[in-house]
A and B are shown apart, each in its own frame.
Chain A
Amino acid sequence: MAVVLDGIAYGLQLALLAVGLTMIYGLGGVLNLAHGQFAVVTAISAALLMGNGMPTLPAVILGVLAGAVLALVIDGSIMRPVYRLHGENRVLLSLLITIGVAFVIDGLLIYNYPFTALNLGVSGPAINLLGVPMRRGSLAASLLALVALAALIVFLRYTRRGKAVRSIIEDEEGAMLCGINPSRVRTAVFALSGGLAGIAAVAEGMTSSLSATDGLNLTILALIVTVVGGLGSVAGALLAGLLLGIVYSLATFYIGAYVTFIILLVTAMVTILVRPSGLMGRGA
């Protein structure tokens, strides 16, 4: 039971990491391989601010903003040529370009801040939940993830802008005919996904620590979750995140960490081969 709860806590973080990636894909037809790097940028800037004596809360908020602003800048500059392409070519070029972005960010951060890590270390005695003692760090992280995800769902379901986002994911041309400007919404969602990656980084920082070298790993995890949930599906990413989190935690507990990663990877591979649209995708 404790293992399952741990898994859910981890799964919420995974979902948080993946929703941003899946939204950009659904919306812009862009596979952002620099997604994990957005999280790392948040982590490093927050850690640096805290190192300079800023209190935790504003430092973390500024860090998340940094992630969002970075996404905004990238969307407004080097992603422009990508949006001029369509369909498969757009995905392909976006993938290659964002690999480049990921390299630039990784190189700069690892070179300049090899030892900086975001470690929020929420400590204190364990709290009993359903009769199971849970670490404070993972409870806080889960709470943060829950709030962020709930806010996202409210945004997508009930606000005008959120509905615009969903309509573009559904049908870009149709949305345009209804007077929605896809380019502007896309920019907003890119920034949002940067911010979500940042929040995921903060949650990660509460349970363990996050340093400059973790970008690629985070991207891969997000990619696995996104693929299993169905590229472009927000609900799929949530479900897949939770499921994979539980699988992760069970496998680590019973088998060992090294096999666990392989299990996750193979799940993603099998999903693509058996049901490319993912858990929640429509059609094949």
Chain B
Amino acid sequence: MPTTQAPLGAQQEGDSAVVTGRAGRWRAYLPVAVTAAVLTALPLLLGGERYYIDLATLALVYAGYAVGFNIIFGNTNQLFLCMGAFAGVGAYGTAVLGNELGLPMPVGVAISVCVTAAFGATFSLVSVRRRLDVIFVGIVTLTFSLVFINLLLGQREFTGGETGMILDYDPGPVGERGLVSYFIFLVVLIAFLTIYRWVQRSYIGWAFRALRDDELAAELSGIDVARYKMIAGAMGSAMVGLVGALYAHYEGFFSPTTFELGQVDVPVLVMLAFGGIGSLLGPVVGATVFTVVDAVLRPLAQLRTAVYGVILLVLFLGFRNGVVPTINDLARWLARRRAPRS
């Protein structure tokens, strides 16, 4: 399928910022380090007030989801509309294993994350083998989400149905809330970003860029498209599953609504579109801005949905590149102007 135009602002970032070779090695991880430093200092800046810490934690959760989705959609152009469901698989998997079998939480999380990764890889494999267009991948994963949510509602004895799920066991340090939870999610996010950058700079990243730009050309130059799409699918899904599991234990109580399309997939899409699809820090910027806007708009109740719709429209009609790539472009432009012309 030949792509004439890059759809949603396909990354200028991918090509210039990912300098391979020795000189660029440490510079490439600089944004991750800066993000880590800023987010570590954030609780101090917020004055340690509980409401703000909770809000910041929520932003980290969303950023984690968004990084996972960014790998799948932003890097390999697979429109997985089941991020909420995958987060739910992580959460409900861990909880059911803990409640019914009494498995310790880390084991439950590990198993559920593996299951999520397997789901992701399967979807990727099937969509490549069946040669599904982006749109059909979207529809299949969307139906998967709906089936999953309905199964959760139906299997009351395991999941508590719509009333929600209560954990019979101690959720461990994630459940302590406050600063402890914040830093756990921060470590997870920084790990994700490091992995993301590492992947971008490795041969996997080259394959991702090649197949995103032109799948057929990539296939012809000897890239195993199915394999790399599966890698992306598994990796991104595992991240989402992990964050979902941790978030569920952080909240201590969750219901199918927690993982609905409107609660996970749509916000993540908005965040990514805002921050910049395919960029390293786009998910973090997007998640932060989204969480703040969401908190500010809370008094509007249902009107919030309409505001999000407008934001989505403006983003996709106006700034298809997202904020981070736009700023990158601007910085590069300024640098070029300052540099002496030869």
Contact of A110 among B140, B143, B150, B305 (CB under 8 A): B305
Cβ of A92 under 8 Å from chain B: yes
Do A111 and B147 have beta carbons less than 8 Å apart? no
Specify which of B8, B308, B317 is in contact with A92 (CB 8 Å cutoff): B8
Bound-state CA distance A245–B266 (Å) is 30
Contact with B along A14-55 (1 / 0, CB 8 A): 000000000000000001000000000000000000000000
Tell me how far the C-beta of A138 lies from the nearest C-beta in chain B, rounded to whole angstroms.
Answer: 25
Contact A88/B302 with A103-B312, A265-B143 known, Cβ cut-off 8 Å: no
The binding surface of chain A is classed by DSSP as helix
Our pick among B150, B302, B308 for the contact of A258 (Cβ within 8 Å) is: B150
Q: Does B335 contact A (CB under 8 A)?
A: no
Binds B, one of A62-70, A173-181, A192-200, A268-276: A268-276
Q: Which stretch, A79-87, A117-125, A142-150, touches the partner chain B?
A: A79-87
Given contacts A91-B135, A96-B269, A114-B302, contact A107 B143 (CB under 8 A): no
Please encode chain A, from 131 to 157, with 1 for each CB lying within 8 Å of some chain B CB and 0 for all others.
000000000000000000000000000
Closest to A25 in B: B135
Is B135 within 8 A of A88, CB to CB?
A: yes
Complex contact B139–A268 (CB within 8 A): yes
Are B79's CB and A92's CB within 8 A?
yes
User: Interface with A: B42-50, B126-134, B181-189, which one?
Assistant: B126-134
Whole-angstrom distance between the Cβ of A125 and the nearest chain B Cβ:
36
Q: Mark B225-242, 1 if CB is under 8 A from A, else 0.
A: 000000000000000000
Q: A220-B146, A258-B153, A262-B151 are in contact. Are A92 and B313 (CB under 8 A)?
A: no
* A272, B136: Cβ atoms closer than 8 Å: yes
**When the two chains form their complex, are residues B8 and A258 in contact, meaning their CB atoms are under 8 A apart?**
no
> Which residues in A have their C-beta under 8 angstroms from that of B8?
92-93, 96
Cβ of A99 under 8 Å from chain B: yes
Candidate in A86, A227, A269 with the most chain B CB atoms within 10 angstroms: A269
Q: Which residue of B lies closest to A269 (CB)?
A: B143
By the criterion CB–CB under 8 Å, are A273 and B312 in contact?
no
- Beta-carbon contacts of A235-277 to B below 8 Å, as 1s and 0s? 0000000000000000000000011011001101100110010
| CA of A99 to CA of B118, assembled, Å | 28
User: Once the chains are docked, how many angstroms separate the CA of A89 from the CA of B266?
Assistant: 19
B14 to chain A: which residues have CB within 8 Å? none
- Complexed CA–CA distance, A21 and B310 (Å): 23
B317→A268 contact, CB < 8 A:
no
Question: Across the interface, which residues of A come within 8 angstroms of B302, CB to CB?
Answer: 107, 110-111, 114
**Is B327 at the interface (CB under 8 A from chain A)?**
no
Q: Which single residue of chain A is at the shortest CB-CB distance from B130? A: A273
Among residues 209 to 228 in chain B, which have CB atoms less than 8 Å away from a CB atom of chain A?
Answer: none
> Contact between B147 and A266 (Cβ–Cβ < 8 Å)?
yes
Residues of B within 8 A of A81 (CB): 317
Interface pair B143/A96, CB less than 8 Å apart: no
Shortest A94–chain B CB gap in Å is 9
Contacts of A269 in B (CB 8 A): 140, 143-144, 147
B334 to chain A minimum Cβ distance, whole angstroms, is 29
> A92–B138 Cα gap in the complex (Å)?
9
Closest residue of chain B to A213 (Cβ to Cβ) is B302
Q: Does A106 contact B (CB under 8 A)?
A: yes
Q: Are B135 and A95 in contact (CB under 8 A)?
A: yes
Cβ of B132 and Cβ of A108 under 8 Å apart? Answer: no
Residue of B5, B126, B307 touching A273 (CB-CB under 8 A): B126
Q: Select one of B126, B154, B304, B317 contacting A78, CB under 8 A.
A: B317
A88 and B154 within 8 A (CB): no
Contact sample, A vs B, 21 pairs, CB 8 Å cutoff: A78-B317, A81-B317, A85-B5, A87-B3, A88-B1, A88-B134, A88-B135, A91-B134, A96-B273, A99-B269, A100-B313, A103-B308, A104-B310, A106-B306, A107-B307, A107-B309, A258-B154, A262-B150, A268-B139, A273-B130, A276-B132
8 further contact pairs, Cβ within 8 A, besides A87-B1, A89-B5, A93-B8: A88-B135, A92-B135, A96-B312, A99-B312, A101-B309, A223-B142, A227-B139, A276-B130
